[in-house]
Structure 1
Amino acid sequence: MPPPHTPANPYAMTTTQSATTASPTRVPGRSRLAVAGTTTVVAVAWWAVLTQAFNLTLEAKQGSTVHIGAPSVLIASLAMSLAGWALLAILEHNTIAARKAWTITATIACALSLTSPLTAGIGTGSKLGLASLHLLVGSLIILGLRRTALSTKARCNPTA
């Protein structure tokens, strides 16, 4: 049987699709909750390596001197993971090319977040350690949540 005619508009439904077609399903094993949890655990583990193995004192100047401890790393990495998840969900609900828009936005946000540790960190070791935490958390969130998002093709053609 030949494939159905492909319409000129790739976003239009073919005659074999109906308005009641179920939305596309995600690939099994690509859980956003797992991304948030993994990011948080890895960030705290990297903080432990920085502070214990490399003997760095992670401090920043934010009005007064702030010591960056494990609870701060845990809360910040979990909050950023959940914020990224929320943004991706909003974009998926409102745009066709959500994965691309989210990846660009998240990459810009990660790059901008580096200004904080590089300007507020106290000492070169602290600046580099905090910057590495930002890059680690950002890259895990960007790459992890990007894998959970459906491509434009999958969103436009649920049977693909």
Structure 2
Amino acid sequence: MNISVRRLLLTVIGAPAAAMSVWAVAVPVAGTALTVRTGAATQQVGPVAIVVASIVAGLAGWGLLAVLERFVSRPGRVWAIVALAVLALSLFGPVGSAVGAAATLVLILLHLVVGTVLVPGLARR
């Protein structure tokens, strides 16, 4: 495995690790209930959902970066612009579905932490 692939893999693994550190402080320590509305029902957002969503986001970003590297002259820059736009759009999810101000704040923070790891981590060449 070359250094570039190892770095990208560590970035994808680092995103859920960073998100879980936020979850560990917000939920078990601070007692925040991460509850979201799903239609007429509510659902708890747990560690499995956070890890899976972070890994899926990281792998999707890595895939997009691989495509950009084949077809775009400045893939890192294009990746950063697209990733920041997707991150901004993703913030509408917690704002529209979280139950309570604390849950909204923590879910937004989770999105930002994952984005903070993935955007620069995948953009670097």
> TM-score, with normalisation over the residues of structure 1?
0.73
Q: Which has the higher helix share?
A: 2
1:157 alignment counterpart: none
Aligned counterpart for 2:28 among listed residues 49, 52, 59: 52
Which residue is 1:94 aligned to? 71
Q: Which amino acid aligns with 1:48?
A: A
In the TM superposition, what is the alpha-carbon distance from 1:86 to its structure 2 partner? 0.5
* Partner SS for 1:60: strand
| 1:96-111 alignment runs, 5 A limit | 96-111=73-88
How far residue 29 of structure 1 moved from its aligned partner, in angstroms, is 9.0
Name which one, 1 or 2, has greater alpha-carbon Rg. 1
Aligned residue for 2:37, secondary structure, equals strand
Higher relative contact order (CA 8 A, sep 6+): 2
| 1:30 CA displacement | 6.4
For the residue of structure 1 that corresponds to 2:32, the secondary structure is coil
Q: How many aligned positions are there?
A: 123
The list of structure 1 runs, each at least 4 consecutive aligned residues, that deviate by more than 6 angstroms after superposition, is 26-30
How well do the aligned residues superpose, as a CA RMSD in angstroms? Answer: 1.6
Structure 1 unaligned blocks of 5 or more: 1-25, 150-160
Percent identical across equivalent pairs? 33
Alignment deviations for residues 34-89 of structure 1 (CA, whole Å, 9 cap, x no partner): 00111111111211111012110001112121100000001000000101100011
Alignment partner, residue 14 of structure 1: none
Cα separation, 1, equivalents of 2:50 and 2:6: 24
SS at match of 2:36: strand
- 2:11 aligned with 1:38, yes or no? no
Q: Unaligned regions of 5+ residues in structure 2, if any?
A: none
Q: Normalised by the size of structure 2, how large is the TM-score?
A: 0.92
SS at match of 1:117: helix
Q: Quote the Cα distance in structure 2 between the aligned partners of 1:136 and 1:52.
A: 18
